[in-house]
Amino acid sequence: MSAQPAIDGQFQEARVNLLGLPRAELEAFCGALGSKPFRARQLMNWLYKRGVGDFAAMTDLARDFRAQLGERAEVKLPEIVTAQRSSDGTCKWLLRADHSQAFEMVYIPETDRGTLCISSQVGCALDCSFCSTGQQGFNRNLTAAEIVGQVWLANRELGFAPAGERIVTNVVLMGMGEPLANFRNVIPATQILLDDLGFDLSRRRVTLSTSGLVPQMYRLAEHSNVALAVSLHAPDDELRNQLVPINRLHPIAELLEACWHYIDEQNGRSVTFEYVMLDGVNDSPTQARALARLLKGHPAKVNLIPFNPFPGTRYRRSSDEAIATFRDLLLRGGVMATVRRTRGDDIDAACGQLVGRVIDRTVVRLGSKRVPVQVEM
């Protein structure tokens, strides 16, 4: 018998957090420990089907292998700082990134599904003017294990039972951060969400929302097939430049090209365009007609999001009438449109209200035009 191989360079850190490893990497890790790749299947079964993270409890694994795992691996979850439950059942957790930084995740129960909104970064560098995460600045990317760990943690906190019904049926990358600015970690995390040995979610039930990092959208089309949501928020470049500063680099025409390419490549249904309704800014009938002209005839639907205010913002939410008129004009213009119901209002758990705790803001905002956005590929 050959001697135990040395751990591969890639797994040299003291303990590898298994939650961040998609199937192929977990197989490589088992191989590096001198075990057969099929051990990875058994491990995934314990981790994701049974919600067990304690190696000692994984009774169908050989004792030696369990001991090795105890030395070389861990299943480490983000630590909960606070947990809040809204009167409508929405739950929000503040999770620790390190001694001073924190990020948030939100669970929204509905009759036919349970949606978990997870974060991909601590803060965000893209500086959209109506977003309270953006106003916090950026601290760091979350690791793949921290992204996957949110789903694991939510299941545990919400009472996941192996034989019971799914609690988290849908996952949306719509919490803190710009997922495509953390490509390197978001892709493996989505692989674990979709893998039938992982969380086994269908690709229509995992949605990635981006403010429009166009080059990364083309890369996404090569590496993933999750549902795509795009934060549009304006029908013309002049206004979008003000609301979503990344538009100065990737204007609307380029962004839409990337969207249609994604749908073609993925054989997908349609792109959901998010449009935050800001009183007197982007909610006029003229703007609704312009938006309809832009999207008509394409695989697109629009989700109108009533603006969620936060302290210090200069914006106000559009009136219910303005939102209804805007939706009707889109429908009449041949574009599918819905209005997002605001949830978790009493605990500030709604879109754009997630602030976490971003104390050390290492990256200057894009809005100031001084520093390019850092993108981890």
- CA 120, CA 182: separation in Å to the nearest integer? 7
* One character per residue 277-316, x = contact with ligand SAH (rule: CB under 6 A): ----------------------------x-xx--------
Residue 318 found at the interface with ligand SAH (CB under 6 A): no
**Residue 190 binds to ligand SF4 (criterion: CB under 6 A):** no
Side chain identity at residue 371, one-letter code: V
Indicate if the alpha-carbon torsion angle 311, 313, 314, 318 is positive or negative. negative
Instruction: State yes or no: residue 274 binds ligand SAH (CB under 6 A).
Output: yes
25, 27, 30, 104: the catalytic one is: 104
Q: Rounded distance, CA 106 to CA 262, Å?
A: 27
Residue 259 bears catalytic tag:
no
Least spacing, CB of residue 41 vs ligand SF4, in Å: 36
> Least Å distance between CB 26 and ligand SF4?
30
Among the listed ranges 67-75, 123-131, 284-292, 300-308, the one in contact with ligand SF4 (CB under 6 A) is 123-131
131 is annotated as an active-site residue = no
Cα gap 141→125, rounded to integer Å: 11
Least spacing, CB of residue 153 vs ligand SAH, in Å? 19
Tokens of 85: 């439950």
Choose one: 31-39, 42-50, 149-157, 205-213; the region binding ligand SAH (CB under 6 A): 205-213
DSSP per position, 305-334: EE----TT----BPPHHHHHHHHHHHHHTT
75 Cβ neighbours under 8 A, 6+ residues apart? 17, 18, 19, 47, 53, 54, 55
CA distances from 106 to 130, 139, 282 (A): 20, 20, 27
- Kindly identify the residues of this chain, within the stretch 207-236, that bind ligand SF4 according to CB under 6 A: 211, 231
User: What would you report as the CA-atom Rg of the chain, rounded to the nearest whole angstrom?
Assistant: 21
**Of the ranges 20-28, 48-56, 129-137, 369-377, which one interacts with ligand SAH (CB under 6 A)?**
129-137
Q: Please tell me whether residue 348 binds ligand SF4 under the rule CB under 6 A.
A: no
Q: How far is CA 201 from CA 110, 115, 122, 169, 225, in A?
A: 17, 12, 25, 7, 12
Build a one-symbol-per-residue string for 159-178: x at contacts with ligand SF4 by CB under 6 A, - elsewhere. Answer: ------------------xx
Q: Which chain residues interact with ligand SF4 by CB under 6 A?
A: 124, 126-128, 131, 133-134, 177-178, 211, 231
Catalytic residues: 104, 351
Which residue ranges make up the site for ligand SAH (CB under 6 A)? 124, 130-132, 174, 178, 209-211, 231, 274, 276, 305, 307-308, 351-352
